[in-house]
Structure 1
Amino acid sequence: MLASLSLILLCQLIGEVVVRGLGLPLPGPVLGLLLLLLLLLARDRFALLARGPLRNDGVETASKGLLAHLSLLFVPAGVGVVQKLDLLASHGIAIILVLALSVIVTLLVTVLVFRLVSRLLRQQEVP
């Protein structure tokens, strides 16, 4: 499991270095996850080519262990909220309004995109 966690963290580190080095507008951990996905897909492809059994790598076990304790990652965010309670008290109404407005805009855009795509698909079906 230690090697698997090291692989996960190494992919995250590589992603962070590439993003900062190239100045990409993308979070480093996201690029690291994409790299990890590519590595896992390559591992599966090589296992299929070798016609050997796909052994259960520790990455799955390590990721399940991380997901089991995912709630611990919210502790720093909760501490940050508690530290900024005075700021939340002074700007709380504005924050709530912005959050509500962003949810409404997101829902409206989603509905519009869905309707547009369904209309386009309907036009393609009719000859």
Structure 2
Amino acid sequence: MIGALATLLVCQLLGEVAARGLGLPVPGPVLGMALLFALLLLRGEGADAAGTPLGTTVDALLGNLGLLFVPAAVGVVVYLPVLAREWAPISCAILGGTLAAIAVTGLLAQALLRRLG
């Protein structure tokens, strides 16, 4: 389990270093996740890492995923006056982003289904 946690944290660290060092507009953890995916493909595990120590560790982390939202909730409470003052643009951004994501997902699903069928 320690080795698996170290692997996850090293991939995140390398992604963070790459994002900041190269000035990329992509978050470091996203690059770290891509690096972890490439590492799993090179090791031949791919999507079948369920019985491995890494898979067990990831399952344990996902089981406690709700705890990872605590810092976000604290951030919302800290910025409550700003949210109360700027509720209209924030609501429009959330609604617009959600509708755009749904539309893009639908269009992509249609394109992929046309391609397969």
8 Å CA contact 2:50–2:56 kept in 1: the answer is no
**Identity across the alignment (%):** 44
When the two chains are superposed, the root-mean-square deviation of aligned CA atoms in Å is 2.8
Aligned residue number for residue 4 of structure 1? 4
Q: How has the CA–CA distance of structure 1 residues 81 and 13 changed in structure 2, closer, same or farther, with 3 Å as cutoff?
A: same
* 5+ long unaligned stretches in structure 1: 46-53
* 5+ long unaligned stretches in structure 2: none
Aligned residue number for residue 80 of structure 1? 75
Instruction: Quote how far apart the aligned CAs of 1:99 are.
Output: 2.1
Aligned residue number for residue 65 of structure 1? 60
Give the structure-2-normalised TM-score: 0.77
Look up the SS of the partner of 1:44 in the other structure.
coil
Number of equivalent positions:
112
Q: How has the CA–CA distance of structure 1 residues 90 and 113 changed in structure 2, closer, same or farther, with 3 Å as cutoff?
A: same
**Match 1:93 to one of 88, 96, 99:** 88
Q: How has the CA–CA distance of structure 1 residues 39 and 106 changed in structure 2, closer, same or farther, with 3 Å as cutoff?
A: closer
Give the structure-1-normalised TM-score: 0.72
Instruction: Quote how far apart the aligned CAs of 1:109 are.
Output: 5.0
Bigger Rg, structure 1 or 2: 1
CA distance in 1 between counterparts of 2:75 and 2:63 reads 23
